[in-house]
Chain A
Amino acid sequence: MKLHNRRVAALAALVLSAGLSLSACGGDDGGSGSDNSSGGGDSASGTYVFLPKNLGNPYFDTSDNAGKAAVEAFGGTYQEVGPDQASPDAQVPFINTAAQQGASALVVSANDPEAICDALNEARDADVKVVTFDSDTNADCRDLFINQATAEGIAKVQVDMIAEQIGDEGDIAILSAAANATNQNAWIDLMKEDLAANHPNITLVDTVYGDDDDQKSFDQTAALLQANPDLKGIISPTTVGIAAAARYLSTSDAKGKVALTGLGTPNQMREYVEDGTVTEFALWNPADLGTLAAYAAKALVDGDVTDGSGSFEAGDLGEFTAEDGVVLLGEPFKFNADNIGDFDF
């Protein structure tokens, strides 16, 4: 048997190397086209590499497609690479590759603020401009961060929406994530200040916590409505909470009587907007985020933004200014029955 295996191995070697050379040729055929285009790294237009947290994620598909349109509009070469899992280190080989290829700019949403830091800095040493969007890294590892929204903006848009939906008076409650969730607590404090200063007739009667757990958020919504029969509205500044609350409201008597708004994603909220449970909710627009990230990368390559400050034109979005290495996209985007059909994430 051993003898036989050796002989077999000889043939196996042949087949294996044949398979290899075939697959290598396949790579060649596939690559030769992009070879020419990636040669664009030397031309004035430049190569812009988008690196999402992982591929096949509808949120990043939306932002990267907008980025692609922007890059093509200003004459650059667009490329999207990424890992199949959003694990902390998985982006590193792709960052290294961009550095080796001498890409003009890398637009990345970081899976981990620290794990990809060194790789990004090595890329920057190789003269690749680094823009982060959606999720930032440590500030010393990138040239610019595209901030989707400020805490003040997020708090204000939610208060404005609930005030509009309940006629600026009555009892409201908040369904938050975990009791110690940093982001949510900061927003809730800002919302309280805004309510006290600008909406004296609205009373915040309760804040409950669904721990970003679908079932718990659902139960908390039920309890909230039972405990506060006069409740006019609920704000849920978390995507899990608002979806669970909408699911409860859509099947209860309170549907249409108790307003619900907050931060949600169009795919989760579509059916509740369509059946009238929810009038309007907010989040940022990932397409605008991708577009802005592409133009910010171009501004870095062109030298319009240096040392984290400067202003640049971002196509249809208008003029933006970078300060301290951050560009703010602007006000959160409101989703309602008129525009929700345009989004898929």
Chain B
Amino acid sequence: MTQLATPPTETPRSYAAHAQPLWRRALLTPEVAVIVALVLVFTWSTANVQAFDGPLTLYYLFLDTAPILLIALPMTLVIVTGEIDLSVASVVGLSSVLVGLLHQDAGLSIPVAALVAVLVGVVCGALNGFLVGYVGLPSLAVTIGTLALYRGIAVGLLGTEAVTDFPERWTDLAKQRIVDGSSYPVVLIPFVLLLIAFAWLLHFTPFGRGIYEIGLNDEAAHFSGVDVERTKFWLFVMTGAVSALAGVYYTLRYGSARGDNATGLELQVIAAVLLGGVSIFGGRGALHGVVAGVLLIGVISSAMRLENQTVNVINIVIGSLLILSVIAPSLLVRLRSLAGRTRSATPAPPRNDTGEAPVDHEERLQR
């Protein structure tokens, strides 16, 4: 080959991602798969499920999934670093109880009570973040502990009582539509603002690139100048704050502050994040996939309820889907490596990318 035939710009890249054309990189991703699935299920349900095309379906869908949508945003960032926060639902419960008590007993107005609740959420998140980031404890253990701790405080503060005496102006606001007759409740406004903020933070800032680096290899991230401790700390503070905000919404939406509000919500959030294509091992994922994941679970539940399926059947379907989405990539790697082995008998030399990929993936699984 002549010097001209291989100009310097065409030397093989040291990173494999750009060895494929842009459209393949943009479209053949788990995120797009989930979005396609969402569109398919939604279209199918609109055509086939009685009353699904009614005006209430989307409205209820957004009202019901709003807390999950909100918490899934910071949760995505946490899971991309390879950590997890299981205490979010307990923070929702604690925030709900605080809004109720501060409003009823301390006589604070709803915005002030909500602000205090969000500050407490920040403190809850900071405790998680301190223990995970600076002390270096595993987030699974820390947040299982704080899951019990925060829930315990919430139930302890209010017992089995419920505070239901909220001003109608605020409870109505939680359910209000942006425009009368539209399917979009006003809670979508704070969600969209937060979505923009988190998308910018994760995908367009050095801080966000650091999050991916930590997820891929936190030591390497540390040596390349990412402040791993500080990053993790602030991510947990963000989940705490957003969870508390979701707790305020939850309280006003149902007009009821109880210690056991939102029990088990953390699993729905994490399920939706994983379904949205975020790797539980860290290092990969994107917010558009996560939003589609939350909505996909919401649409499936909604359609199946309208088809008179019981909650058990719905749980089985969503659980299977989640497992499928988690194992599909690994399973396909296994299949491809098997296929690659049979192909390697042929004289055609294997492309360098197929050769190295399975090794790399197995390395990641071992981490």
> Known: A16-B325, A112-B162. Contact between A4 and B33, CB under 8 A?
no
> Known: A35-B50, A38-B50, A84-B312. Contact between A1 and B256, CB under 8 A?
no
Complex Cα spacing A9 to B277, Å = 10
Complex Cα spacing A34 to B50, Å = 11
**B33–A113 CB distance below 8 A:** no
Chain A residues near B261: list those with CB within 8 A. Answer: 87-89
**A6–B48 CB distance below 8 A:** no
Shortest Cβ distance from residue B219 to the other chain A in the assembled complex, whole angstroms: 18
Chain B residues near A6: list those with CB within 8 A. Answer: 17, 20, 24-25, 28-29
Interface residues of B in 262-297 (CB under 8 A from A): 262-264, 284
Shortest Cβ distance from residue A160 to the other chain B in the assembled complex, whole angstroms: 32
**A96–B56 CB distance below 8 A:** yes
Shortest Cβ distance from residue B16 to the other chain A in the assembled complex, whole angstroms: 4
Closest to B351 in A: A3
Complex Cα spacing A134 to B54, Å = 32
Q: Which of B50, B256, B336 contacts A88 (CB 8 A)?
A: B256
Chain A residues near B336: list those with CB within 8 A. Answer: 4, 7-8
* Interface locus among B149-157, B187-195, B303-311: B303-311
**B308–A38 CB distance below 8 A:** yes
**B311–A82 CB distance below 8 A:** yes
Asked if A102 is at the interface (CB within 8 A of a chain B CB), the reply is yes
**B256–A112 CB distance below 8 A:** yes
> Known: A16-B33, A16-B37, A19-B321. Contact between A102 and B51, CB under 8 A?
yes
**A8–B329 CB distance below 8 A:** yes
Asked if A314 is at the interface (CB within 8 A of a chain B CB), the reply is no
Interface size on B, residues (CB 8 A): 76
Complex Cα spacing A7 to B17, Å = 11
Asked if A69 is at the interface (CB within 8 A of a chain B CB), the reply is no
Q: Which of B56, B306, B315, B324 contacts A15 (CB 8 A)?
A: B324
Shortest Cβ distance from residue A1 to the other chain B in the assembled complex, whole angstroms: 3
Shortest Cβ distance from residue B324 to the other chain A in the assembled complex, whole angstroms: 5
Asked if B364 is at the interface (CB within 8 A of a chain A CB), the reply is yes
Closest to A97 in B: B305
Asked if A93 is at the interface (CB within 8 A of a chain B CB), the reply is yes
Asked if A183 is at the interface (CB within 8 A of a chain B CB), the reply is no
Per DSSP, chain A at the interface is: helix
Interface residues of A in 10-52 (CB under 8 A from B): 10-13, 15-17, 19-21, 23-24, 26-28, 30-31, 34-35, 38-39
Q: Mark A69-99, 1 if CB is under 8 A from B, else 0.
A: 0000000000111111101110011101101
Shortest Cβ distance from residue A191 to the other chain B in the assembled complex, whole angstroms: 25
Asked if A307 is at the interface (CB within 8 A of a chain B CB), the reply is no
**A88–B29 CB distance below 8 A:** no
> Known: A8-B333, A89-B261. Contact between A81 and B308, CB under 8 A?
yes
* Chain A interface category by residue count: 35 or more
Interface residues of B in 24-38 (CB under 8 A from A): 24-25, 28-30, 32-34, 36-37
Asked if A114 is at the interface (CB within 8 A of a chain B CB), the reply is yes
Q: Mark B329-367, 1 if CB is under 8 A from A, else 0.
A: 100110010000000000000000110111011001000
**A1–B305 CB distance below 8 A:** no
> Known: A8-B332, A84-B312, A102-B51. Contact between A13 and B162, CB under 8 A?
no
**A1–B30 CB distance below 8 A:** no
**B311–A16 CB distance below 8 A:** no
Asked if B220 is at the interface (CB within 8 A of a chain A CB), the reply is no
Asked if A328 is at the interface (CB within 8 A of a chain B CB), the reply is no
Interface residues of A in 229-287 (CB under 8 A from B): none
Shortest Cβ distance from residue A27 to the other chain B in the assembled complex, whole angstroms: 5
Chain B residues near A115: list those with CB within 8 A. Answer: 162, 254-256, 258
Q: Which of A19, A21, A100 contacts B306 (CB 8 A)?
A: A100
Q: Which of A12, A20, A24 contacts B329 (CB 8 A)?
A: A12
Complex Cα spacing A36 to B324, Å = 32
Closest to A82 in B: B311
**B17–A2 CB distance below 8 A:** yes
**B29–A4 CB distance below 8 A:** no
**B16–A4 CB distance below 8 A:** yes
Asked if B207 is at the interface (CB within 8 A of a chain A CB), the reply is no
**A99–B56 CB distance below 8 A:** yes
> Known: A13-B30, A112-B258. Contact between A27 and B307, CB under 8 A?
yes
Chain B residues near A92: list those with CB within 8 A. Answer: 64, 254
**B24–A55 CB distance below 8 A:** no
Chain A residues near B260: list those with CB within 8 A. Answer: 87-88
List chain A positions with a Cβ less than 8 A from chain B. 1-13, 15-17, 19-21, 23-24, 26-28, 30-31, 34-35, 38-39, 55, 79-85, 87-89, 92-94, 96-97, 99-102, 112-118
12 contacts between A and B (CB under 8 A): A5-B284, A13-B30, A16-B33, A20-B41, A24-B44, A55-B310, A85-B263, A87-B264, A93-B302, A97-B302, A100-B51, A100-B306
Q: Give me 12 other A-B pairs in contact (C-beta within 8 A), A27-B307, A100-B54, A100-B57 excluded.
A: A3-B19, A4-B16, A4-B333, A5-B284, A5-B329, A9-B33, A24-B41, A28-B307, A87-B261, A93-B301, A99-B56, A112-B258
